[in-house]
Each structure stands twice: as structure tokens, then as C-alpha cells.
Structure 1
Amino acid sequence: MKTMVLVWLWLLVAEALLPVHCQPFSAHGDKSLGAPGPASQQPLEPAPAHHRVTPTITNFALRLYKQLAEEVPGNILFSPVSLSSTVALLSLGAHVDTQAQILESLGFNLTETPAADIHRGFQSLLHTLDLPSPKLELKLGHSLFLDRQLKPQQRFLDSAKELYGALPFSANFTEAAATGQQINDLVRKQTYGQVAGCLPEFGHGTLMVLLNYIFFKGNWCPLLASMGIAPTWCVDLTAKWKHPFDRYQTRKQESFFLDRRTPLRIPMMRQKEMHRFLYDQESSCTVLQIEYSGTALLLLVLPDPGKMQQVEAALQPETLRRWGQRFLPSLLDLHLPRFSISATYNLEKILPLIGLSNLFDMEADLAGIMGQLNKTVSRVSHKAVVDMNEKGTEAAAASGLLSQPPALNTTLAPHAHFNRPFLLLLWEVTTQSLLFLGKVVNPAAG
């Protein structure tokens, strides 16, 4: 299976606050999921710098998810790595007090982990995700669009480039429509036409747009490079199921229950394969772990009928750790929807509810970016798209633990039918980082 995820995120910095417009993994060679944390590290090796930030990113993700679940009735999808790294990058341009407030709002304890170590942790995370791999290709970066009449602080530009790979671009924000079109065109080209027209209009007081996006699909970045397009912030992930689905086994019309009384007819992929699997009686949910051929891992959580809110309330790092300790390989009769969903958020109302009000505070001091006071973030927009289907090729190697014993009776395989709303968590195993988190309520609401 190929999985495509797009994420587009931008932060708009203006002269004043504008009105809000509401519209442990195993250390023994397998990829079993636990909550990221020190327990999974080799005892005699120093912990990589990114281990300082990945547990906090996970905590931040779960807090944001729960807030979105209260505000958004339908599908949910966002990238914790995208959001947290962008906010941390912005804090580089803040006065020491404002920077501390921003990082603490993300969930960091500055007594235990100083700001410099946090930024080095993000640097390590982005660098590690960017390392070449024969099975998993990731390319990362950020972009800064700065008004050409301003003189940004060189120290900020140097730190942003060194730590976050952020490249600056000159922009003329006095011509708002033309500049907005220019940025939208750039993103549209960089996402191979998948993201277009998602940047709202901005006013003449805009001074900076800080953006990133993630494109999660086959091998597209080399294609863009051949077209002379330089990606700013992309993830290019060739992600194929370790055990691919046979498209001839897909049923084109199978019921997916939006609620107990509302069935929806959708294509349902099917297979009988070995996967790590458990039923959590305490949380009333089925948890399934599906491996990609590279260093990516998909966790699917299927609440019992009527138990979605109970499962969402139980989402804690401790819950992920407990699941990681209880997974067992099991032969499953798996039914999984073939779906394409998207989600778009203006987060300037949501982020303050989980503690990030200082981003939008008139007292926030971002003078480290341009040497001018009283600059605030007015909007935070985030867009994500996921497309899952049967396509893909078999992995070059298979884990012995998950390989199917020849003597098993496939007719007795327990079933895992994802025929009602479920959660998805997409992990990168090497860094133990949560790349995407979401909820599929309606698989046909693309």
C-alpha cells in the first residue's frame, strides 16, 4: 500500500494582532510500538539528541488531538512534528522570556531541558529524518517569507538555517494578492498540485510568513528537482505495506457505520496476515499495528461501538507504553477501508486552549526576528490530506516474528473489521516520532 499525507502549515506575523476569522519501540530489531522514551534506548549508548524532544512532541500531539476532538465533529488529521517544530523555530526569534513561555507551552520543562538543548533536539530530529535510507526516503525543511523592506536579524536567520534548515525568501507584502498567489503557486508546485489555494489573504501589515508542509507519498521530490523546483519543507516517503493488500480482494461496496444507525457503502480492503494486535479491555478498543517495509509504523485504534469518547479520554503516553508491552503477533482477518480524507484548521483559537496563548499575545516579544517590537502571530493554518489504498510492492525482507507459520488454520483467524470510526497514528521508528495523528470518522469525506 502507498500512503500519501500532505500537510501545509503557515504562521503569519503582523504588526498587531489581527481579528480572528473562524472558518518504547523495541530495541531488539523489530518495530513493536511503545511510547517513545528512555526505556527503549540501549543502556550503554548515549541517547540521541532528538530523544529530548520526541516524548514532548507526543504529549503535545495528544493534548491537541483532544482539543480538536471537542471542537471538530468529523475527520481529524494533523502532523505533530510539523506543528511543534514550526512553533519551536519561531521561538528562536523571541526574547528569552517569550521563548521560555512558548517552549513551556509546548510542554518542555526548561529546568530539565534548557532551550538550547531543545533546539538541538529538533535539529537532531530533522537531520535524522532526513538521512538517506534504501527503503524510506525523507526530505525536510522550512521556509521564511520576509518582507523585503525589513532587515531580519542575521543571528535569527543563521540559527533558523542551522537548527531547522529554514531558508529565507524575500517578499513584497504591500502587494498582498500577488504575494499570496506567489506563495500559493510555490506550494502547489512543490506538492505536485495536491495543495492549492490554501493560504488566506493577508493584510498590508504582514511582515513574515513562516510555513512548512509535508508530502507523504512515493518518490516525488526527485521529480520536482528535475523540474527545477526546490522543496522548502517536504517529507517524501516511499511507504509500502510490509504485507500489501491484494486489490482483487477489495470489496467495492461494504458497510462502514458512521454511527450505529448510519451505514455508508465504501470500498473495503481485505487480507489474512500476521500483525501485532491486542484488545484493551480497560479502554474498550482493538489496537492493530501495521508495518511498512521501511522505518514507518501505522497504529490503528478501533473503539468498541459507542466507546470513541472513552478511548479518546484514555489517550495518554502511558496508554501507548502499555500497548507496546502487550502487543502479540496474531493472524488476523483484516478489513480496512480504502479512503481519502483531508482536514483544514485555523488553529489560532485552538492553540491557546492548550496553553499556547503567548503566540498571539500583544506582549510577546519577537524582536529577535526583525529587531522590532510588538509583532504578533495572527493566524496559524494547517492542512493535511491522507490517501490510503492497496497499491504497493512487497518488502525486500520480512520480520521473522511477523511471518506467518505454515501450519496456522486461516479459517479461525480473529477478525479486525474497521467498519466504524477509528484513530490512526503514524510513527517513524528510528526517531520514535509521531509524524501524523488523526481520526477517520467518514472515509468518504475526502
Structure 2
Amino acid sequence: MGPAWPWLLGAGVLASVCCQPFPVHGDKNPGVPQTSSHQLAELAPAYHKVVPTITNFALRLYKQLAARTPGNTLFSPVSISSTLALLALGAHGDTQTEILEGLGFNLTETPSPDIHQGFQSLLRTLDLPSPKFELKVGNSLFLDKQLKPQQRFLDSVKELYGAVAFSANFTDSATTGRQINEFVKKQTYGQVSDCFQELGHDTLMVLLNYIFFKAKWKHPFDRYRTRKQEERTSGHAPLMQQREMHRFLYDQQVACTVLQIEYSGNARLLLVLPDPGKMRQVEAALQPETLRRWGQRFQPSLLDLHLPRFSISGTYNLEEILPQIGLTNIFDVGADFSGIAEQLNRTISRVSHRAVVDMNEKGTEVGAASGLLSQPPALNTTSAPHAHFNRPFLLLLWEVTTQSLLLLGKVANPAAG
């Protein structure tokens, strides 16, 4: 049985109305904060300046997407927020302010240099290698060859966001589009493909963010038990089953069951199962303080868990959604992105995002943790409470070290793909 995994994959792009990387001056550029390895250790806590705001932004964005999307909803808050923050680095004046305030930052309390250092700290921490799971976050820019990008911007995005800028020929939009899609496919190991199918001849820039997550369950599901259940039912997503120790709670006030499932690395999955007919009530209660309250109330217990095996995706043109949460003028002709290139003082025409998640049974147990959380032999088979995810539920995937929200979504129909 090969190691199979829950997947998280995302890609975000910003486009206004292959390829060779632009040179980066790096350490000699006086406009870029210089960061030694010793200073990096001191900067590590800087992600605390941005992570709570990203979570709040994610919950606001989710409510807009869910209101417009009757079926499955899925996106990566880290991917979208870091893409917008990177864009703010090349914006001037009111445009920069609107992007950062639209993300939810109070610029009096957290000035823009602190925000960018916070994202730098977050992205570098998320990108640290781990023997337990794989997490890859990256940024790239594709700028039309007619543009003359500001060197200060190229150096800053490389230093703060790890982003490399490439020169592209958008006059041949079909070829360039294929090159960008191949780039995304390669960076996400083939899981995200054909993201950007329509690049116009007047495109001047594509700003890309990708995220790839691959981790084993701490307690893998038994594929044989799923197969037996699959033989009894048809036309529905097969239910994975296990009896294991998990941390969960029932929130009577919100009318939902909340379950925390651990991976073998620094990641946790939060599943929220509303009572029948209570999804809208739960979505309305989805606030940062609700998440904090749940985190304080979890209790470990043996649980009889039934969870669908599924693969779903979400693809969005966010230019229709972001104005609803404050990002309005960045789509106006007067938006100022001259910090990227002087010729780029024009409107952003498209903000696209795609995320894919695949969850299944397989994985490799960690010996010590498995022994600690295995089923106590003395417990009666009828004593374990049930968590039966046979109706729509929410999922929130967290990276534990930074407490950042990698994935947020609703599984309305696990068989819909």
C-alpha cells in the first residue's frame, strides 16, 4: 500500500489589461532590507503580525464565495493574501493603502514595512524542510518584454517574497499561457494544470502564487473498510472509517460538531459538521473568536469516524468578489502600480485563484504517536460517539508552527469533484 496523502494545491494570478528571469541586484540594493541568517532567527516571530489578519480576511472572503457558490467552495488564504500583499509592494499611494487595508491591516498599528516583513517570515517558515510532510509555497511574476520593471521592485519581491520575475511575450499569448501553465504544473507536481486558459494580447503582467501540501494522516484509514462500504453503496463518495482517539467537541450554541484530525507533521485539519439544516447558521458564526473558543474546548476521546474520500477543487475570478470586502479601486483605471513598472499605471483586469484538495485513506503511522493514540483495548465497541460526515461540512487546514490557514472550504458534494 503506497503512501497516499491529503493534498492542498493553490495558484493565484493577477493579470493587467519561455522566459528569462530579470536580474536581481540583491545585497547591493539600498532599498531592500538586508537579512542575514542571524537576523532571520530574530525575524521568525514576525509572522505573528500578519497571520491573525490573514485568518480574518479568509473568513470574510469565504462568506462572499459561499454566498455565490451553491456547491463546493475551496481556496487557499495564504496563497491569495500573499499574492495581494506582493502586489501592494508595487503599488503607490492610495492603491497600496487600499490593498493592505482591504486585507484587513490597520496601517497605524502595523505599517507596511512590518506587513511585508511578516509575510517574509511566514513564507520562509512555511518553506522550511520537514521530514514529516511537504509544504511548498512560491511566488513568480511574468512581465511583458515591453515593460521596464523597477529594479527596486524586483529586488524587494525577491528578498521579501522569494519571487523571481520573468520576461514574457504576451503578444504570443497562447504560447506564453502554455509556458505559465507548465510552470504551475511543475511547481505543484502535476496537481494544478491549465489554470490560465485565456491570456489576452494586452496582458502585461501575471503575478503567480502557488502552494503545495502533502502529508500523511497520523492515524491512516483502512482502505479495506472503505472498499467494503463501497460495495454496498453506489453513486456516492465512499466513506472512510476508523475508530481512533481524536479531539472534538459539540457546540450547542452554534449547532455543530467540530473535529480536529492530526497529520504526522506540523499540520492539523479542522472539520466542522453542522447539524442538519444549520449550515448557514454555522457559516454566520464563523469568526476568529469562534475558532479560538473551539480551540480551548477540545476534548480527546475515542471516536467512530466516517469521513468521505473525495477530491474537489475551487476556481474563482476574484475581481468580482474582492470589491465586496474593500478591494474596489485596484480595479479602476486610476490604480497606481508604477512601483512595478512605469508603464503599468493601469487597471488590473483579472484576479484568478484555483485550489485542489484530495483526501484519502492511506498514510504511514508514526510509531510513538500511534501507540499513544491507539484504541484502548478495554473500551466497548458501542461506547464511542459517532461523527458521520454524510452531509455538507467545512474544512480548515492549519500549519501548526505559524498557526496559518492554508486551506478553507466547504464540501457540499464530495462526489462532485
TM-score by length of 2: 0.89
Equivalent residue in structure 1 for 2:387, among 416, 435, 440 = 416
Match of 1:5 in 2: 8
8 Å Cα contact 1:253-1:268 kept in structure 2: no
Q: What amino acid does structure 2 have at the position aligned with 1:77? A: L
Counterparts of 2:327 and 2:231 in 1: how far apart (Å)? 44
Q: What amino acid does structure 1 have at the position aligned with 2:321? A: I
8 Å Cα contact 2:138-2:211 kept in structure 1: no
Counterparts of 1:56 and 1:4 in 2: how far apart (Å)? 24
Counterparts of 2:250 and 2:84 in 1: how far apart (Å)? 36
Runs of 4+ in 1 over 4 A off after TM superposition: 399-404
Counterparts of 2:218 and 2:344 in 1: how far apart (Å)? 52
Match of 1:104 in 2: 101
Corresponding residue SS for 1:133: coil
Match of 2:220 in 1: 244
Alignment RMSD, CA only? 1.9
8 Å Cα contact 1:278-1:326 kept in structure 2: yes
Match of 1:167 in 2: 164
Match of 1:53 in 2: 50
Q: What amino acid does structure 2 have at the position aligned with 1:359? A: I
**Where do 1:82-97 residues align within 5 Å?**
82-97=79-94
**Where do 1:398-437 residues align within 5 Å?**
398=369, 402=373, 404-437=375-408
| Residue 297 of structure 1 pairs with residue 268 of structure 2 | yes
Match of 1:179 in 2: 176
Map Cα deviations across residues 286-332 of structure 1 (whole Å, 9 max, x no partner): 00000001000000000000000000000000000110111000111
CA drift of 1:175 comes to: 1.5
Match of 2:142 in 1: 145
Q: Cα distance 1:282–1:402, how it changes in 2: closer, same or farther (>3 A)?
A: farther
Corresponding residue SS for 1:168: strand
**Where do 1:301-340 residues align within 5 Å?**
301-340=272-311
Structure number having the greater helix percentage: 2
8 Å Cα contact 2:218-2:370 kept in structure 1: no
Q: What amino acid does structure 1 have at the position aligned with 2:230? A: K
8 Å Cα contact 2:267-2:398 kept in structure 1: yes
Corresponding residue SS for 1:367: coil
Map Cα deviations across residues 80-115 of structure 1 (whole Å, 9 max, x no partner): 000000000000001133212110000001111110
CA drift of 1:399 comes to: 7.8
CA drift of 1:266 comes to: 2.6
CA drift of 1:139 comes to: 2.6
Counterparts of 2:140 and 2:166 in 1: how far apart (Å)? 7
CA drift of 1:344 comes to: 1.0
Q: What amino acid does structure 2 have at the position aligned with 1:242? A: K
Q: What amino acid does structure 2 have at the position aligned with 1:293? A: S
Q: What amino acid does structure 1 have at the position aligned with 2:110? A: T
Equivalent residue in structure 1 for 2:243, among 272, 282, 287 = 272
Match of 1:29 in 2: none
Counterparts of 1:192 and 1:172 in 2: how far apart (Å)? 25
CA drift of 1:374 comes to: 2.8
Counterparts of 2:231 and 2:257 in 1: how far apart (Å)? 23
Structure 1: 5+ residue stretches without partners: 15-44, 217-236, 256-262
Q: How many residues align?
A: 388
CA drift of 1:46 comes to: 9.6
Corresponding residue SS for 1:51: helix
Q: Cα distance 1:265–1:178, how it changes in 2: closer, same or farther (>3 A)?
A: closer
CA drift of 1:9 comes to: 1.4
Match of 2:24 in 1: none
Counterparts of 2:204 and 2:79 in 1: how far apart (Å)? 22
TM-score by length of 1: 0.83
CA drift of 1:65 comes to: 0.4
Map Cα deviations across residues 340-392 of structure 1 (whole Å, 9 max, x no partner): 11111111101111111132122211100002353221101111111111011
User: Which moved further from structure 2: 353-362 or 76-85?
Assistant: 353-362
8 Å Cα contact 1:254-1:268 kept in structure 2: no
CA drift of 1:404 comes to: 4.2
Corresponding residue SS for 1:140: strand
8 Å Cα contact 1:301-1:424 kept in structure 2: yes
Corresponding residue SS for 2:323: helix
Map Cα deviations across residues 33-64 of structure 1 (whole Å, 9 max, x no partner): xxxxxxxxxxxx99810000000000000000
User: Which moved further from structure 2: 179-188 or 70-79?
Assistant: 179-188
Q: What amino acid does structure 1 have at the position aligned with 2:46? A: A
Counterparts of 1:159 and 1:400 in 2: how far apart (Å)? 48
CA drift of 1:195 comes to: 2.6
Corresponding residue SS for 2:238: strand
Q: What amino acid does structure 2 have at the position aligned with 1:2? A: W
| Residue 156 of structure 1 pairs with residue 159 of structure 2 | no
Equivalent residue in structure 2 for 1:286, among 257, 267, 289 = 257
Equivalent residue in structure 2 for 1:347, among 300, 305, 318 = 318
Counterparts of 2:202 and 2:156 in 1: how far apart (Å)? 25
CA drift of 1:403 comes to: 5.1
Q: Cα distance 1:106–1:268, how it changes in 2: closer, same or farther (>3 A)?
A: same
8 Å Cα contact 2:98-2:326 kept in structure 1: no
8 Å Cα contact 1:293-1:396 kept in structure 2: no
Match of 2:345 in 1: 374
Q: Cα distance 1:396–1:164, how it changes in 2: closer, same or farther (>3 A)?
A: farther
Identical aligned residues as a percent: 77
8 Å Cα contact 2:46-2:121 kept in structure 1: yes
Counterparts of 1:339 and 1:438 in 2: how far apart (Å)? 13
Q: Cα distance 1:363–1:397, how it changes in 2: closer, same or farther (>3 A)?
A: farther
| Residue 394 of structure 1 pairs with residue 365 of structure 2 | yes
8 Å Cα contact 2:133-2:216 kept in structure 1: no
Counterparts of 2:187 and 2:55 in 1: how far apart (Å)? 28
8 Å Cα contact 2:137-2:209 kept in structure 1: no
Q: Cα distance 1:373–1:386, how it changes in 2: closer, same or farther (>3 A)?
A: closer
